[in-house]
């Protein structure tokens, strides 16, 4: 049995449920015979480099339970890109605190961090096990049905479009269109989630633009004109990372982050929603608005999904259980355990860290409509159990009065 201490960190963007995963790790680690103490990285891997670790073993159960249902990243996050020069310092710190179990909660880049740190430590003769806990509202991690954080963010989008759609409908004589932008660099899971807002034929959103399909300006403007003629207004949802066929971002952003990824929205100083708004206004002369909420959809507790909190916590616990049984170099995944036609039920599996770090989970073709600007029933069947029931609203019959 590998005896020692454990460390856990949170990296990348926040979610409504990332703290539930962290508490899951802590709770399981406290009960594990192979683990003596649990430390927390203050601001992810930077906390290790700068020798700023938190003693999570000393936190009371009451505090941890409160943190479990608190949004954002309680330990603090970071987007530091690891360089070769960092590894000797990291290993020195891990040895200093007797850390043998290495856990991080995050996305592709986070899984790469775990993989590289543990591989380096083992290569230097220091035995260590590393297990990742999936997290991203983008839902683009390899090997998992969905990621903790996605259901709550998806519900945020669906509710925003459902409620904003009423405003679009009733203000159509003032604003003829609206563009709502979601996060999601290269996968369309979040913009697609807006389709769950529909309750009646003709309900918003009318057009959904996803990164999986190249943006076709001519086809878009044609559908826009047809939709406006039919409904009197148009509700559009776009993923921040939509691009033209040649790969040029619709947002026209050229800013790159430390990992070489294009920065969209506020971080990139431009956005797809703004570009679409200008395109529509220039073509038709319509008045409209664009909405970009950025990180708000990542960490909104008031729209959090109970299922999401529960699954995030279980993923954290599962990571510790795997590591203490000898598993390493994997990320905990969520899989659907129910058979077709049965109520949703979650199961848990694993995916190799190396693959998670290098591959993305985009929406399959069966979830995207033939014109590339909507979703299919198969996607609605996929998303519905994850976000739960949405409110029902009243609607006037709009019957013209007679004398």
Nearest CA to 181 among 230, 239, 268, 141? 239
3-class DSSP state for residue 69? coil
Integer Cα distance of 294 and 280 in angstroms: 22
- 8 Å CB contact between 368 and 382: no
Assigned token pair, 356: 């998670």
Those residues whose C-beta lies under 8 Å from the C-beta of residue 340, and which sit 6 or more positions away, are: none
DSSP characters over 261-311: PBP-HHHHT--HHHHHHHHHHHHH---EEEEE-GGGGGS-GGG--HHHHHH
Catalytic site residue 138? yes
Assigned token pair, 154: 């998806």
Buried-state track 305-319, b at ≥16 Cβ within 10 A, e below 16 = bebbbebbbbbbbbb
Active-site residue (options: 112, 138, 140, 374): 138
Q: What letter would DSSP give residue 314? A: H
Q: What is the largest CA-CA distance in the chain?
A: 91
3-class DSSP state for residue 156? helix
Residues annotated as catalytic (active site), given as ranges:
138
């Amino acid at each position: 049995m590998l005896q020692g201490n454990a460390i856990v960190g949170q990296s990348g963007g926040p979610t409504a449920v990332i703290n539930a995963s962290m508490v899951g790790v802590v709770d399981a680690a406290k009960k594990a015979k192979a683990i003596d103490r649990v430390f927390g990285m203050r601001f992810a891997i930077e906390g290790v480099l700068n020798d700023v670790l938190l003693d999570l073993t000393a936190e009371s159960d009451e505090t941890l339970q409160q943190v479990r249902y608190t949004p954002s990243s309680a330990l603090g996050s970071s987007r530091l890109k690891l360089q070769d020069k960092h590894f000797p310092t990291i290993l020195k710190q891990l040895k200093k605190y007797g850390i043998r179990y290495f856990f991080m909660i995050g996305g592709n880049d986070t899984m790469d961090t775990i993989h590289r740190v543990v591989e380096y430590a083992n290569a230097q003769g220091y035995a260590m096990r590393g297990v990742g806990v999936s997290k991203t509202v983008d839902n683009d991690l390899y090997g998992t049905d969905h990621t903790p954080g996605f259901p709550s963010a998806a519900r945020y989008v669906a509710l925003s479009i459902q409620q904003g759609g009423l405003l679009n409908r009733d203000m159509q004589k003032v604003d003829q269109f609206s563009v709502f932008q979601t996060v999601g660099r290269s996968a369309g899971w979040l913009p697609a989630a807006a389709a769950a807002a529909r309750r009646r034929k003709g309900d918003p959103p009318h057009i959904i633009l996803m990164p999986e399909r190249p943006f076709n300006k001519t086809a878009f403007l044609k559908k826009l004109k047809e939709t406006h003629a039919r409904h009197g207004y148009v509700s559009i949802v776009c993923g921040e990372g939509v691009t033209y066929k040649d790969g040029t971002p619709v947002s026209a952003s050229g800013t790159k982050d430390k990992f070489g990824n294009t920065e969209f929205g506020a971080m990139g100083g431009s956005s797809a929603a703004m570009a679409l708004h200008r395109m529509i206004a220039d073509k038709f002369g319509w008045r409209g608005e664009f909405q970009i909420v950025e990180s708000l959809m990542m960490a909104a507790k008031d729209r959090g999904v109970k299922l999401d909190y529960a699954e995030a916590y279980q993923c954290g616990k599962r990571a510790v259980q795997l590591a203490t049984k000898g598993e390493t170099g994997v990320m905990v995944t969520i899989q659907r355990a129910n058979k077709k036609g049965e109520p949703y039920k979650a199961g848990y599996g694993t995916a190799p860290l190396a693959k998670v770090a290098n591959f993305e989970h985009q929406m399959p073709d069966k979830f995207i409509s033939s014109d590339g600007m909507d979703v299919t029933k198969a996607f609605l069947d996929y998303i519905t159990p994850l976000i739960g029931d949405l409110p029902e609203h009243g609607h006037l019959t709009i019957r013209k009065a007679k004398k």
